Every structure is written in C-alpha cells, then in structure tokens.
Amino acid sequence: MAAPEAARQSTWVDRYGQLLQASGLDRERVLSAALQHEAGDGPAVISLAQCLEQPALLTDQVKADYPQASESRTIRARVSVLQQDLALNIIAPLTLRLFRDGETTLPDPDCIGLTPVTQDRAGPAARWFQMASGTSVDEDRFIRSFGSLASDWYPVFRKALGVSPGAYWSSIGLGLGAPFSAVWNLAAPVSVCNLAQRWLREFNNDANQFIDWIPAVFNGQTTAIPQRKGCCLKYLLPEGGYCGTCGVYRKERLAALRQQKPGPAPGQWQPGQ
C-alpha cells in the first residue's frame, strides 16, 4: 500500500513551486516580492457590494470623478478600466497569497471599497482595495468559490455597465494569472505558459477563453506573456495608452512572433498590465 505522503495529489502550490525550482527560483521569495506592490487601503466612496446591487451608483461615481466623461463610450471605458483595476488589485493579490501560502481569503464585496479620485492620485482609475480579510480557504475552495463569484458578477458588469465579455473575462484572467506574471521573464517560458493556461481552465468560466499565454521574444530573450482577446478600452482615455496585453495589437503581435522577429511587439508588456 502506498504511503499517504506519496498518494497525496499534487496541489497547484506544488506544481508552481516545482516550476520555479526548475529555474532556480524560490517560490516564497518571488511571491512576497510581487505582493510588495499591493495597493493600500484608504477611504471608500462606495463598496463593490453596493455597485453589484445598484450598478448605477458606479456610473454616477465615474461621472462625479471625471466630469469631462460625458460621452457614453468614455463612461463605459472608465468602468471597464475600473473592472480591470478590481482584477489586478483584489483578485491578483489573493491569488498570489494562495500560491505562496497554500491558502487565501475570498474577495468579499462588502469589504471591497473604491477610493476617491484626488489630485495627488493621478491615473486612469480610482483603485479598489479590500478593507478587511475573512476566513482563509484552501485552493479547492478558492477555485470553486471564486469561479462562481466571477460568473455572478459578470451579468452586472456586462448588461448593466456595458463591459464587453472579452474585457471582463480577460481582466479576470490577468488577476488569476498574477503568480505566472511574477515570473514572466524568470522561469522557463513554455512551462509557464502551459501551467498558466491549465490553471485558468480550473475555474470553469470564460477567463480561459479570453487569455492566451504565449512564449514571446523580447530583446532576444524568450519570455511568457498573457495576450488578451478583449480590450479594457484604456486607450480611449486621455491618460490611457495601449497595454502590452491589449487585444487591439493582438493580430500584429502574434504575426510578429510567428515570424520569429526579435524585440518587443507594439505595447511592450510589463507584469500587471
């Protein structure tokens, strides 16, 4: 009879740790460094729970924050960027902790707040932060619960707020892929891409359908980057631009990679974009 230790099913923490170890990287050190960039808290003007219950509150907040955003497409772009900000500043840190510690908390809409836009907070979006943490869960519970949460939030952002399916799910995918973004140019790129794609498939939603992790050559070095099949619309904003993951340049970037051209494609990617 096999010993319990040998019979234990490999976890995602195990697989990720083995991936990093093969490249001489320390999992805890890499992920702790990535968490140093986590957004801080602050006064909240609105909670995510309020936005999900009354989506018009988020639209009204965008209009108050950006009085010049009078056109419907500009308001929709602001909301789309805010949803991306939610993924990168709430979902990403929780996922990083899961891969570092083997457990993490779930996003709690009642405890997720939106900070006001002020003159000393320049940028395309106010930032979301989690005001309190709840009970920690293991990776199986995180996968099941967050997979359902993301699907529950989708109708609000899609139907009530006008965020496109590609924008919503690719942003969710970027947040969930944060542990792999942390080693985009450090670990074996093909292995990073393969494991990242398998990880997204665990959630049984459309995040995996709107993100492709691909090996890419930047300045002569093969790296691993996520490519969105949807656009957050940041480029429509006055302070915006094209992200390195942006679907607008997707066809050109993939064509360049197929031709094995060295150097960065349009909109060079950095972790967190």
- Hey, where are the domains in the chain? 26-258
Q: What is residue 94's predicted lDDT score, i.e. its pLDDT?
A: 96
**Among candidates 188, 168, 165, which has minimal Cα distance to 176?**
168
Pinpoint the alpha helices (H) of the chain.
4-7, 12-22, 27-35, 48-53, 56-65, 72-86, 92-101, 139-155, 165-176, 178-181, 189-201, 250-258
Q: What is the pLDDT of residues 118-177, one digit of tens each?
A: 655 444 445 899 887 778 999 999 999 999 999 999 999 999 999 999 999 999 999 999
**Among candidates 195, 225, 181, which has minimal Cα distance to 87?**
181
Q: Output the CA–CA distances (angstroms, integers) from residue 213 to 196, 198, 227, 257, 269, in the order listed.
A: 7, 10, 6, 13, 12
Q: How far apart are CA 155 and CA 145, in angstroms?
A: 17
Residues 6+ apart with CB under 8 A from 64: none
Band (pLDDT 50/70/90 cuts) for residue 251 is: low
Residue 263 scores a pLDDT above 70: no
Token pair in block for residue 270: 């950095």
Q: What is residue 131's predicted lDDT score, i.e. its pLDDT?
A: 82
Residue 193 scores a pLDDT above 50: yes
Q: Global pTM? A: 0.86
